[in-house]
Amino acid sequence: MEFVIGKYEKLLAVKVLHPWFKDGVCDYLTIEPDAPTKKLLRQMHLISKNYDGEINIITEINETKENNKVVQTPVSSFTKNQHLVFLLRLTNTRFFEITKLDITGFPKQVLYFSNNTKTAKLTFEKCTVTDNLIKINFDKGKVPVKEKIIAADKREVFQTDIDKNAAEFNYRFFDNETGLYTAVSEFAKSDKVQTQTFYYDPFIRKNPVIGIIDIDASAIKTINDDKNTFIIQFEKN
């Protein structure tokens, strides 16, 4: 068996597509890893490469030859519940003119893209960005019995019981790491829960974003695989 190191290949990619552009690639937006993801990439010796409307994550590979067949595998692999989070930033405000998009609540509410359906095209909804405070208002007669704050890697970072007469729930980030969090409201009926997604960054007001991209990377174990290219698809206005 022959063993070769020092070669690099694409592990995953995120692309922004838009039919207004001739080649379909939207260059009015850039994608960059957030601070925790940059740290993780360094620890795993992964490289991020930016192009117009695209980011590629490059990995060093192990290459073996077994029975005259070349087998390539990443040197590093992701663990269970490991997420890569990217920030979608605006480089040209004309983007809003050419795009069919509901930006109600912007800049406090931004687009939230994820691969939770395990398909190449990322689903999207909205999440709230904050530099400190999470605030959830309760409807009269619909007060949860408990609130939990869950980090992206599924760690529970906080929980508290809620008084039945409470009007709201507040949670302030102090020693928490920058990143995605989910507020989980649990009600008296054990099968009834509500969730809200938040992105916390103490400097978010200085560096506004229009979108958060959340890639659950735990299933990514192959290189140059089309299944590892994730697409954000916008519609033309």
Per-residue pLDDT tens over the stretch 72-89: 888 888 988 899 999 999
The reported pLDDT for the residue numbered 1 is 43
User: Are residue 34 and residue 140 in the same domain, yes or no?
Assistant: no
The reported pLDDT for the residue numbered 5 is 53
User: Are residue 226 and residue 118 in the same domain, yes or no?
Assistant: yes
Count of helices and strands (H, E) across the chain? 2, 18
User: Which contacts qualify for 219-226: CB closer than 8 Å, 24 or more apart?
Assistant: 219/118, 220/11, 220/12, 220/78, 221/73, 221/74, 221/77, 221/78, 222/73, 222/74, 223/9, 223/10, 223/11, 223/59, 223/61, 223/72, 223/73, 223/74, 224/9, 224/10, 224/72, 226/120
- Kindly give, in sequence order, each residue whose CB lies less than 8 Å from that of residue 145, ignoring residues fewer than 6 positions away: 161, 162, 164, 186, 187, 188
The reported pLDDT for the residue numbered 36 is 94
pLDDT-flagged residues of the chain (< 50) = 1-3
User: Are residue 59 and residue 125 in the same domain, yes or no?
Assistant: yes
Domain count, the chain: 2
User: Are residue 64 and residue 99 in the same domain, yes or no?
Assistant: yes
User: Are residue 158 and residue 53 in the same domain, yes or no?
Assistant: no
* pTM for this prediction: 0.90
User: Are residue 176 and residue 226 in the same domain, yes or no?
Assistant: no
Q: What is the pLDDT of residues 8-56, one digit of tens each?
A: 999 999 999 999 998 899 999 999 999 999 999 999 999 999 988 899 9
Dist CA 230 CA 211 (whole Å): 15
User: Are residue 89 and residue 192 in the same domain, yes or no?
Assistant: no
SS3 5: strand
**Range(s) of the domain holding residue 143:** 133-200
